[in-house]
Amino acid sequence: MSEAILGAPDLIVLPEHFDWMGGSVDDKRRAADFVPGGDAYSVVQRFARDHGVWVHAGSLMERRPEDDTVHNTTVIFNSRGDNVGIYRKIHLFDITTPNGATYAESAVVTPGDDLLIYEMKGYRIACAICYDLRFSRLFDRLSNENADIFILPAAFTRQTGRAHWEILCRARAIEYQAYFVACGQCGTYPAPGGPRRETFGRSLVCDPWGSVIARAGQYPTVLHAEIDPHRLTEVRRLIPMSRHRVPLEGKLLRVKTEQL
């Protein structure tokens, strides 16, 4: 897997499905574990506490004990090992790629309901996971809460990654004048009834101008990046979008069609 590290040793970011991925629907359900209390949860919590570092634990498969629902879940631990937030992926990856491969995340995963921003060392950090990247309204809502950094653990496919990964990451950074940390799972995994599937990797970090300030390849690595608060201030001063943004709710929409 790839890891994106912000201002080490302040924060470590892991990719989507950092502990396990692939397999059949039944395999995925069996791999889901409890939050808190599951093995993956406990390992990362102990690491954060023992090393005195914040960990944005990409995502893991969470089983809810009350109804056996499964979520694709990010958990954040502070440097004492305290759980400071949980985000459950909202947009589920049910698509067909150009080569005909189908993905049906909703066959296992139930979407979450809530958004999450947490604060660390003066930064407001907003959460999203993988397919959420394509839905700008989510980031618009988070931006309204003054997000400074978006963090997106992901497991993009090779095909969609080559076409859209960097474009969308840079666009979100530019649109909302925030740092964008995208931590991409890399490598292959088994898919039932077909060939192994390949994830795209290529973790990257964009500054609020949309410049890529750190970039990984398609193989396991540790990626370092430094977040500069002055860069946030500078970009927002040069193009003061927060002052220029016009509320569109309640605006009359006129749709005109040509009469034949």
The pTM assigned to this predicted structure is 0.94
Q: Which residues, in sequence order, are CB contacts of 245 under 8 Å at separation 6+?
A: none
**130 catalytic, yes or no?**
yes
Is 183 a known active-site residue? no
Q: Supply the pLDDT for residue 260.
A: 64
Q: Domain map of the chain by residue range? A: 2-241
* pLDDT of res. 194: 79
For residue 181, the one-letter residue type is V
Question: Catalytic residue among 16, 28, 127, 186, which?
Answer: 16
Check if 127 is active-site.
no
For residue 138, what pLDDT is reported? Answer: 98
Query: Tokens representing 169?
Result: 């990451």
What is the predicted pLDDT for the residue at 187?
A: 94
Which residues of the chain carry a pLDDT beneath 70? 1-9, 260
Query: Among 130, 183, 186, 206, which one carries the catalytic annotation?
Result: 130
- CATH fold of 2-241 reads Nitrilase/N-carbamoyl-D-aminoacid amidohydrolase (3.60.110)
**Residue of 3, 28, 62, 89 marked active site:** 89
